[in-house]
Structure 1
Amino acid sequence: MKDERGLYYYPSMQTRDVRMYVRQSEEGGIEFRMWNKDLPEVWERHEWIPLDVVRTAARMYALRNKDRNPAGLYDEAVARRLLDEDR
């Protein structure tokens, strides 16, 4: 999907109030940025996050918390599909 902010998908099936935006960086990598209807400051305070940073953070998080995987919000396959379809 696409709107004035760019390409996005819904990272959770439970709500449409959160969107994950994706774009391709100048270097060709994938970047993510979250938008939350109820927390607009999330978009305002956080910049685009490169995929390699997401992967590194997920590995570090997994070492401490084996019960949750927040990296599930950042779906590389969906992001690639959106970017390919937009070309």
Structure 2
Amino acid sequence: MKDERGLYYFPQAGNHEARVYVRRGELGEIEFRLWQAHHPEVWEKHGWIPLSVIENAARLYRAERNPEADPLKLYDVAVAQVLLREDRA
């Protein structure tokens, strides 16, 4: 989907109060940015985050806090790739 902020998907089925926006950064890496209807300050305070940074943070989180957790569920690379590919077409 696309709106004035860019390409996005809903990270939780049925919940349209949160969106994850995707784009390609200057170096071609996929970048993500979170928007939440009830917390618009999240969009304002947090910029675009490259996938490599998200992956590194997820590894640290699992190693230090919870090896069973999957922080990457919110940031879906496969969905991001499809959205970016379709937008180019």
- 1:36 match: 36
* Stretches of structure 1 lacking an aligned partner (at least 5 in a row): none
Percent sequence identity over matched residues?
57
| Alignment partners' CA distance in 2, 1:14 and 1:2 | 17
TM-score, scaled to structure 2: 0.93
Aligned to 1:27, what secondary structure does the other structure show?
A: coil
Corresponding residue number in structure 1 for 2:73 = 72
Answer yes or no: is 1:24 the counterpart of 2:44.
Answer: no
The separation in 2 between residues aligned to 1:10 and 1:68, in whole angstroms, is: 20
For normalisation by structure 1, the TM-score amounts to: 0.95
Query: 1:66 Cα deviation (Å)?
Result: 2.8
RMSD: 0.9
Structure 2 unaligned segments of length 5 or more: list them.
none
Q: Which of structure 1's runs of 4+ aligned residues deviate more than 2 A?
A: none
Number of corresponding residues: 87
